[in-house]
Amino acid sequence: MEVNELSDEYRALHDDWELVEALMGGTKAMRAAGKAHLPQWPNEDAQSYATRLTTAVLYPAYQHTVETLVGKVFSHPVTIGEDVPSRLKQWSEDIDLEGRNLSIFASDLLEGAIGPGLGGILVEYPVGLRNEDGTPKVMTMADEKALALRPYFVYIKPLQILGRRAKRVNGKWVIQQLRLLESVEEPDGEFGTVCVPQVRVLMPGAWQVWRKASGAANWSIYDFGLTSVKYVPFVPIYGKRIGFMLGKPPLLELAQLNRKHWQSQSDQDTLLHVARVPILVRTGMQDKVGPDGTVIKSELTIGAASAVDIPTGATLEYCEHTGQAIGAGKSSLDDLKEEMRQSGAEMLVIQPGNKTRIEAAGDSSKSMCSLQRVALSLQDGLNTAMQMMADWVNEPTGGHVQVFTDFGALTLEAAVADLVSLQGSSIISKETTFKESQRRGVISADNTWTEEQARIEGEGPALGMIGIDPVTGLPVDPGTGMPPTATQPPRQANAGGQ
């Protein structure tokens, strides 16, 4: 097998991924796919098909559904936990060295998970200094600091994955080899650029880049190096997991319906074009025979400024479509739109049926919708990638981030009211109430519980919460029976503790 060849597992998934990629690309991408998604009918000549293809327009049901679902998850940004190291927090503002912060990067990643059904985060580190022979040089921390090198995220799409090798180590799947298809832009001449295909091969503690030289028959190693992390720093993100690093589109049925609509809409447009142009039919007219016996075809000139002379008994009339098939076609298209709407909404259906909000809070694993499960999978993947980023720079922990998942049947107001009710009943702590409210976007992500707690203590007891000790006559806190601290002076002292 060549380094650029697809493994059997990924070849079996490519048709579904390519369909989804075309639907997400809109009309232009579907036209570019040609006969793969818009077949040429028997007896349809090439010119007629080409005209039909260039006039076809996609109804973007799949693209709109995916973008809407992603928008629900990222109606609130990713919350970065207090345990995330300060420099990782700083890096999260430009997580991919292309200007995207962690939330924007994660939203693109979720779009890939919901769309094709698989995506991934490659935690990369720039290649630094080289030896004279071109091999990577082992750098010190001072070298890395001087070159401003730091780890970053790379979004890997499923169509880039050519193959992988993995084995279980202590019951956990571990990547032994990963092949990724890339396209690198390089200078071409004085002003131009050219995209060069290459294959990156990742192994624990090492990497290779393979290219095919101009005119060469085979691929060969173009570059290589070692890494300080002794594993392949790649995290798969699934839409619908069917195996380790294997996923299929969770909305595949919607994709199939959208392709069917694309084809049916093209037929309908062709039918409308034919129906709108009446056909002129003549009967009872015979061709003339010349003196030499040759047949002279009868010619007609049709127009507002011309007269038509026809023999006695002949007829000339327009034949038009009855329109019945047009109505049936429109009805079929409308039915397809409704099927697509229902199929897209399935990811928001909470299973099983009706539950109170309190029951749902206590049994969240059974009451999640499919979109929530994908969002939580994304959150787990982001946390794993943050730890990989920390491993690159010898940080003990990468910390944790949270993705918004409370977008189901509950409204934001009802969810917050539930939190306050649970905290008032001593079921959850004030800190949990604060963090859950922050995760829902009610409290700014810039605030921390430690800082907020200090602010609360600095404000002192609330009005009416200070009493008078009947023995000493001094103000006391009714909750503790102790005098207020010097930093928390009483705001109000009611005689007799009233």
Q: What is the mean pLDDT of residues 402-411?
A: 70
Pairing state of beta strands 246-247 and 241-243?
A: antiparallel
Question: What are the start-end ranges of the E strands in 135-191?
Answer: 152-156, 161-169, 172-188
Kindly list the distances between the CA atom of residue 374 and the CA atoms of 80, 116, 235, 378, in Å, as whole numbers in the listed order: 19, 13, 14, 6
* Residue 103 CB-half CA count within 13 A: 13
Peptide bond into 236 cis (omega under 30): no
Specify the range with the lowest mean pLDDT, choosing from 7-11, 445-449, 487-491.
487-491
- The pLDDT tens digits of the residues spanning 72-109 come to 999 899 999 999 999 999 999 999 999 999 999 999 99
SS3 259: helix
Q: What is the pLDDT of residue 331?
A: 73
Q: Which long-range contacts (CB under 8 A, 24 or more apart) does 359-368 make?
A: 360/410, 361/418, 361/422, 368/408
What are the Cα distances from residue 399, in Å, to 83, 198, 385, 390? 5, 34, 10, 9
Averaged pLDDT score across all residues of the chain: 81
Find the helix or strand (DSSP H, E) in which 195 lies: strand 192-203
pLDDT at 251 over 50: yes
CA atoms within 13 A on the CB side of 246: 16
Alpha-helical segments (H) within 184-323? 252-275
Per-residue pLDDT at 477? 62
What pLDDT band is residue 427 in, cutting at 50, 70 and 90? confident
CB neighbours of 414 closer than 8 A, spacing ≥ 6?
357
pTM value is: 0.70
Q: How far apart are CA 476 and CA 161, in angstroms?
A: 68
* Average confidence (pLDDT) over 187-216: 91
CA 139-140-143 angle, to 5 degrees, is 80
At 212 the three-state DSSP class reads coil
pLDDT band at 358 (very low <50, low <70, confident <90, very high): very low
More confidently predicted of 85 and 302: 85
Determine the pLDDT at residue 336. Answer: 82
Unique residue bearing structure tokens 């008994």 = 313
Q: Looking at the predicted structure, is the pLDDT value of residue 321 above 60?
A: no
Residue scoring higher pLDDT (487 or 350): 350
What is the percentage of the chain residues whose pLDDT exceeds 90?
A: 48
Comparing 470 with 244, which gets the higher pLDDT? 244
Instruction: Note the pLDDT tens digit of each residue in 146-194.
Output: 677 899 999 999 999 999 999 999 889 999 999 999 999 999 888 999 9
- Per-residue confidence (pLDDT) for residue 286, from 0 to 100: 66
CB 364 within 8 A of CB 376: no
Per-residue confidence at 23, pLDDT binned at 50, 70, 90? Answer: very high
Q: What is the CB neighbour count within 10 angstroms for residue 55?
A: 12
Alpha-carbon distance of 353 to 369, in angstroms, equals 11
**pLDDT tens digit sequence for 115-139:** 999 999 999 998 765 566 555 555 5
Which segment of 235-249, 346-360, 420-434 scores lowest on mean pLDDT? 346-360
Tens digits of per-residue pLDDT, 281-292?
667 666 667 777
How confident is residue 478, by pLDDT bands cut at 50, 70 and 90?
Answer: low
pLDDT of amino acid 268: 79
Measured CA to CA, the distance from residue 141 to residue 395 in angstroms comes to 13
Report the pLDDT value the prediction gives residue 160, as an integer from 0 to 100.
96
The confidence score (pLDDT) of residue 123 equals 96
**92 class by beta-carbon count within 10 Å (0-12 exposed, 13-18 middle, 19+ buried):** buried
If one compares 73 and 339, the residue with the highest pLDDT of the two is: 73
Predicted local confidence at residue 266, as pLDDT: 84
Both tokens of 272, joined, read: 């409308």
Confidence of residue 418 (pLDDT cuts 50, 70, 90): confident
Q: How many CB atoms lie under 10 A from the CB of residue 322?
A: 8
Helix axes 8-33, 61-73, angle to 10 degrees: 120
Would you give the end-to-end CA distance of the chain in angstroms? 86
pLDDT at 430: 86
Q: Which residue has the higher pLDDT, 447 or 460?
A: 447
Q: What are phi and psi of 134, to 5 degrees?
A: 95, -10
Confidence of residue 441 (pLDDT cuts 50, 70, 90): low
The mean pLDDT of 375-387, rounded to a whole number, is 96
Domain ranges of the chain: 1-158+237-277+324-409, 279-319
